[in-house]
Structure 1
Amino acid sequence: MCKLQSSDIFKPGTFPEYTYISRLSSELNYSYEIRLQQALNTSGYLTSIIGPSKTGKTVLCEKVIGQDKIVSLTGNDFKNSNDFWSVVAKRAEIALEGEQTEMDTYESHNQINNTIRRSVTFKEKYLSSKEAIINYFKGNNLVLVLDDFHYAPTELQFDIAYQLKDAIRKEFKVVIISLPHRADDAIRKNPDLSGRLSLINIEPWQTHELREIAITGFNKLNIDISDAFAERLAVESLTSPQLMQSICLSLSTIQNIDLDSNIKSIEDESIIDNSCKFNALNLNYKDVIKKLKEGPSTRGQQRKTYEIMNGQKVDIYSFILRAIAENPPIISIHLEELKNRVDKLINSTVNRIDKNKIRDSLGKLQDIVNDSEPIYQVFEWKDNQIYVLDPLFLFYLRWGKY
């Protein structure tokens, strides 16, 4: 048997065979795997999974359903088409349009009464129907997994819900995945689907759960790490198992642990900082941060600047982003906590930033996010709370160069 490499163990973008961690749902103290299996076994029900970004919702589906039995779509797949079944058929590689050829043979007689056999070929075009698609899925034991449902146009979300209402009654299996705070109202608050939903709320990963990824993975590589080391990795992973996988892989790469057989343990926590900076090089959020730092148009007026503790002068929007990135790294920050962070950063006891100024500025940043493409929709400001929707954005904000 070949020695396992770090890339075999830590898999940020695919199914992590060796470091898959099963978690218990606190709602019922059953594993999410059992809950999803029960949902799929319930005929005539649609499964709705809601959870923070990069928390393993898709990996959960792959574990329970099997990668070869999933037909995967995202809300973005419906940006340029309002025909739900056409999009599904195309992804499942079911022919939307084709030709059926039939040959008919008949006999005729010529003037001297000889019998002549003639053949005529008929070509008829056909279009794959909704029923044919449903039967194809059932016959092949496939499950439609519709990820990032909130990215589908709002009016189309309700049409999709209408289409699925009838389909699930015919035992068409569907799992719809969405983010919290952008909850799929077209599904969960749809009266037509009331009583026909299996609801699974994925909770953010706890540090002890994330630690298991690092401990399990490095044990597979015959390398010891301390609990404190694993804890620090977990904190920087920002509730995201995908991010934990990525940081561990970066750490393994820069430490050259696949080739250096002398490495039996890793203890120096400064390596984690280097791994985070190294990992941030692969992330593409520079333009997102640039757009947010620019804020709304000033129409030629100069913005007021504030001096932070290192002597640098920044405006309110750069200040807010800097405060969001401060320790401790958390993905949900209340206005009061953000104000405390701002107060600690500002190099002045007189020129404080008023809480209302912070609140108004966050509202303007939210307007920019709402009017931008999906890649810019990295957080949501709602009810005096900032919800970081994309942990990778916060990670880059902390460790990237911009």
Structure 2
Amino acid sequence: MTRKTVRIAMNGVTGRMGHRQHLVRSLLAIREQGGLDLGDGTILWPEPVLVGRRAYALEAMAREHGLDPENISTDLDAVLADRSEKAVDIYFDAQVTSARVEALKKAIAAGKHIYTEKPTATDLAGALELARLARAAGIRHGVVQDKLFLPGLLKLKRLVDGGFFGRILSVRGEFGYWVFEGDWQEAQRPSWNYRSQDGGGIVVDMFPHWEYVMHELFGRVRSVQALAATHIPERWDERGKPYQATADDAAYGIFELEGGAIAQINSSWAVRVHRDELVEFQVDGTEGSAVAGLRTCRVQHRGVTPKPVWNPDLPATHAFRDQWQEVPDNETFDNGFKAQWELFLRHVYADAPYHWDLAAGARGVQLAELGLKSAAQGRRIEVPEIAL
């Protein structure tokens, strides 16, 4: 076996998602398993290079995880310009969205392969420019689309691919939880999420997720009609100071899908959870239905569908949830972020197929942009196919 070290610049890794999911549960987890076996006698060994604005935070993170203290930097330009044996091969971005485009452009210009969180840009024009620049540069590029790798959605895709549903009629999604305002309990999300001037808002955050989920499982989104709201107008930041929430914290969307199915997805940071998981999708088809969450998936086939009769004068005699059947795992599911990292690394170093690229990321930005436009204008808007 030959071990090949892959140096990866990780920008924004001091944030919650960058640290927990991408560093600890992905790259460090790959190292803990002995690296990534490409199947040709090569073992890839990821070597994170931590990039950020606060040197002390990077130093503390390197110490915590036993990383080389020399593999930290507050100077992205210097990291990208390095042509020594310590040059990075891949640039990963988990910064706030407003800082992402400039950094990705620099990495593309430096000839680095790109892997990035979403949304890839604050508007469609910026997202398309990145996709075109990456294509012209001939680099490999990928966008995090983690929800496709959740056990619940992998089971749901198995059902779709197996024809379980017959003709799919509708998709209903519920996502969200109560994010504390920050006054009497600390908020679970950073304050910039609630300021539109800083790139915040649940439409910008979640519609890119819903785009790839719908696109991959059910069909391309053909139209969107959305209503966005700011239910909590005042919140408290990380220093305990009040601020005005200028971004939407809830969005209610209806999407027409290619093939005729209708999807309705509610997203909210101002809702209390009364469901089994923080996100759930119900899919109804002519032959059967399913409800999928983060990890579980339950089904009800046409042949065993009960025949409810509406009678408000009598109490319900059946527990409707008990009439559904659990879909078995049938396989071992790895962390979704790690699984996609492994696919991207195989794409870069073993030429494995990979289609979750910057063009796919641009579709998500497009849907968010059109969703906000629909909410502002109060109308249904067609979603044209993207052409690079």
After TM superposition, the score normalised by the length of structure 1 is 0.27
- Structure with larger Rg: 1
In terms of fraction of residues, the more strand-rich structure is: 2
